[in-house]
């Protein structure tokens, strides 16, 4: 499903109003949904609504009015003067007939539930002073919080905490989720996100054309590779994984098994001669072929049946790996570059980007983690707070000409054309040795089946997260390939494919 920036949400709102609805009608829907969620969440006892000076506060005031009508005791605190409210929020305030408590921490008390309607998508600067004190006091109170639209203090476009932010049990948001609901740390502040319809027609999206999506099957289901009943393994591509030296061959084997489990028809490990015996002894369905140099790799890949290559896990950092990367890009299969393949270009990323842009087959995926990312994009480390993770990955994709996948609990995949997907299905135990190697292999396996690079990266990330959920806590990288069949079955169920 699409993810919106606050600016895009404002457009959705304006297009709906231009189509004949009133802004206040949207607010009434929003406030009623919030009240409904509050009824479900709140134990018996009073409910405190903390309202801010904009339309997020307006939603809160409508919810307060509705909750009283539903028989609840409701207290309201408002930041600023009632008379200072404008537009729809002023209309909402006229609906609220009760008193307003002073905007002080002492007013919080110990309600059954707090409805956080302080700031939503209009947050445009760090919270300070009174608002900051209230947010911190709410977080310390231990009272469950229902956030309206966004937990106050979370930037809807970036997920950043602007000074301080509410930690909500649940968040009710409208029409479509916002990017800040998925990117960290925002996601951690939202609790469960409830998406409700407030009367905005999905057709407005035709005009807005959002370019960010949640990474879930809705996004790529038609591209998911399903073997044909009349097909054979040669029709499902042949992935090559480049192995490192004798002492570090395990990573390539993990990747190779990932490629096979992702559905590649055939997988070959291109192994240095001195590691051949080790690789061959430890592999069964995966084949092994001696490849020491970039020239040898290039010669192997001249056979176009090898249609996808994964390089990086355990590859070693330096000129030898650089050479193999350039040979793979020149030969024209789809390519996924990870780990040492990326680090080998630290300090000279332009050489890599040039090679990517001049490849005859522009199906290239880069899969850095936050440590590797600034080795290629030195101005965009996560220490640089000027850009969100989404923006950083988009710029990286545009600059490199490749699909870029930046790993993390909120893995972002972006294509050079601006499309981007944010994942939220990875469990914390997925962060374990070797799990990135398996991801590289899964993506290589999908590329081998001719899934386009952006979709291959998205599907790979999603399957990897699902496989980890399936394996559960205590996961080691080897488990991921073994739980992948269950993930395939889940996708087949969604596709309605029998097995």
Least distance from ligand NAX to the Cβ atom of residue 86, Å: 8
Nearer to K ion, 119 or 213 (CB): 119
From residue 243, alpha-carbon distances to 134, 268, 273, 324 in Å are: 56, 10, 10, 11
Contact 237, 264 (CB under 8 A): yes
Write the interaction track for ligand NAX spanning residues 348-367; mark x where CB under 6 A is met and - where it is not.
--------------------
Residue 25 DSSP class:
H
Q: Is 163 annotated as a binding residue?
A: no
116 binds, among ligand NAX, K ion, none (CB under 5 to 8 A by kind): K ion
Question: How far is Cα of residue 406 from the mean position of the Cα atoms in its chain?
Answer: 9
The SS3 assignment for 234 reads helix
Nearer to ligand NAX, 63 or 309 (CB): 63
Least distance from K ion to the Cβ atom of residue 22, Å: 22
How many angstroms separate the CA atoms of 346 and 373, rounded?
A: 10
Report the 10 Å Cβ neighbour count for 53.
19
- Our CA angle for 225, 230, 235, nearest 5°, is 50
449 binds, among K ion, ligand NAX, none (CB under 5 to 8 A by kind): none
377 binds, among ligand NAX, K ion, none (CB under 5 to 8 A by kind): none
Least distance from ligand NAX to the Cβ atom of residue 49, Å: 13
Q: Is 122 annotated as a binding residue?
A: yes
Q: Is 409 annotated as a binding residue?
A: yes
Residue 198 contacts ligand NAX per CB under 6 A:
yes
Question: How far is Cα of residue 164 from the mean position of the Cα atoms in its chain?
Answer: 23
Least distance from K ion to the Cβ atom of residue 243, Å: 51
Long-range residue pairs from 413-418, CB within 8 A, at least 24 positions apart, any chain: 413/215, 413/454, 413/457, 413/458, 413/461, 414/390, 415/453, 415/454, 418/211, 418/394
Question: How far is Cα of residue 264 from the mean position of the Cα atoms in its chain?
Answer: 25
Nearer to ligand NAX, 22 or 247 (CB): 22
53 binds, among ligand NAX, K ion, none (CB under 5 to 8 A by kind): ligand NAX
| Binding range to ligand NAX, per CB under 6 A, among 46-54, 203-211, 216-224, 276-284 | 46-54
**Footprint on residues 118-157 left by ligand NAX (CB under 6 A):** 119-127, 131, 148-149
**Footprint on residues 344-403 left by K ion (CB under 5 A):** none
Burial class of 90 by CB neighbour count within 10 A (0 to 12, 13 to 18, 19+): middle
Contact 208, 8 (CB under 8 A): yes
Site size for ligand NAX (CB under 6 A): 29
Return the H-helix or E-strand segment holding 227. Answer: none
**Footprint on residues 289-348 left by ligand NAX (CB under 6 A):** none
Nearer to K ion, 76 or 148 (CB): 148
Residue 55 contacts ligand NAX per CB under 6 A:
yes
Return the H-helix or E-strand segment holding 144. Answer: none
232 binds, among ligand NAX, K ion, none (CB under 5 to 8 A by kind): none
The SS3 assignment for 311 reads strand
| Binding range to ligand NAX, per CB under 6 A, among 10-18, 272-280, 293-301, 442-450 | 10-18
180 binds, among K ion, ligand NAX, none (CB under 5 to 8 A by kind): none
Which H, E and C letters describe 169-220, residue by residue? Answer: CEEEEECCCEHHHCCCCHHHHHCEEEEECCCCCCCHHHHHCCCEEECCHHHH
Contact 85, 93 (CB under 8 A): yes
| Binding range to K ion, per CB under 5 A, among 19-27, 142-150, 263-271, 464-472 | 142-150
User: Residue 476: which residues within 8 A CB-CB, separation 6 or more?
Assistant: 432, 433, 434
Question: How far is Cα of residue 414 from the mean position of the Cα atoms in its chain?
Answer: 10
Residue 10 contacts ligand NAX per CB under 6 A:
yes
Residues at the binding site for AMP are: 407-411, 436
* Chain residues that interact with K ion, rule: CB under 5 A: 116, 120, 147-148, 152
* Chain residues that interact with ligand NAX, rule: CB under 6 A: 9-10, 12-13, 26-27, 30, 52-59, 119-127, 131, 148-149, 174, 198
Residues at the binding site for K(+) are: 56, 116, 152
Residues at the binding site are: 55-59, 116, 120-126, 149, 152, 251, 314, 369, 407-411, 436-437
């Amino acid at each position: 499903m699409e993810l919106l920036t606050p600016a895009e949400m404002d457009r959705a709102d304006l297009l709906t109003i231009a189509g004949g609805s009133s802004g206040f009608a949207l607010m009434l829907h929003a406030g009623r949904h919030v009240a409904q969620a509050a009824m479900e969440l709140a134990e018996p006892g009073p409910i405190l609504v903390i309202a801010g000076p904009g339309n997020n506060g307006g939603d809160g005031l409508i919810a307060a009015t509705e909750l009283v009508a539903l028989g609840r005791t409701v207290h309201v605190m408002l930041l600023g003067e009632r008379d200072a409210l404008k537009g729809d929020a002023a209309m909402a305030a006229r609906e609220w007939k009760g008193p307003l408590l002073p905007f002080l921490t002492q007013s919080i008390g110990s309600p059954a539930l707090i409805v956080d309607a302080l700031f939503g998508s209009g947050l445009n600067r760090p919270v300070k002073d009174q608002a900051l004190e209230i947010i911190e006091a709410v977080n310390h109170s231990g009272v469950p919080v229902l956030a309206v639209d966004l937990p106050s203090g979370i930037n809807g476009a970036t997920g950043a905490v602007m000074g301080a932010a509410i930690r909500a049990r649940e968040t009710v948001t409208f029409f479509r989720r916002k990017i800040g609901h998925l990117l960290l740390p925002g996601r951690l502040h939202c609790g469960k996100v409830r998406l409700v319809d407030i009367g905005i027609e999905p057709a407005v999206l035709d005009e807005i054309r959002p370019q960010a999506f949640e990474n879930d099957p809705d996004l790529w289901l038609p591209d998911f590779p399903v073997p044909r009943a009349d097909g054979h393994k040669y029709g499902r591509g042949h992935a090559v994984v480049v192995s490192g030296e004798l002492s570090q061959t395990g990573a390539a084997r993990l990747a190779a098994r990932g490629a096979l489990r992702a559905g590649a028809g055939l997988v070959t490990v291109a192994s240095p001669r001195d590691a051949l015996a080790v690789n061959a002894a430890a592999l069964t369905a995966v084949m092994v072929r001696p490849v020491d140099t970039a020239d040898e790799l290039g010669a192997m890949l001249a056979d176009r049946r090898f249609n996808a290559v994964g390089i990086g896990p355990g590859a070693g950092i330096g000129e030898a790996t650089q050479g193999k990367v350039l040979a793979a890009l020149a030969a024209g299969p789809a390519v996924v570059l990870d780990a040492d393949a990326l680090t080998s270009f630290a300090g000279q990323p332009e050489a890599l980007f040039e090679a990517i842009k001049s490849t005859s087959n522009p199906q290239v995926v880069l899969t850095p983690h936050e440590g590797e990312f600034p080795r290629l994009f030195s101005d965009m480390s996560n220490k640089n707070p000027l850009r969100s993770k989404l923006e950083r990955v988009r710029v990286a994709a545009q600059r490199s000409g490749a699909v870029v996948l930046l790993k993390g609990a909120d893995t972002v995949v972006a294509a050079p054309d601006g499309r981007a997907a944010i994942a939220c299905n990875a469990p914390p135990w997925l962060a374990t040795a070797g799990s990135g190697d398996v991801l590289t292999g899964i993506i290589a396996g999908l590329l081998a089946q001719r899934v386009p690079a952006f979709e291959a990266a998205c599907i790979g990330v999603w399957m990897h997260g699902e496989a980890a959920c399936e394996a559960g806590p205590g996961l080691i990288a080897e488990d991921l390939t073994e739980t992948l069949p269950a993930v395939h079955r889940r996708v087949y169920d969604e596709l309605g494919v029998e097995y």
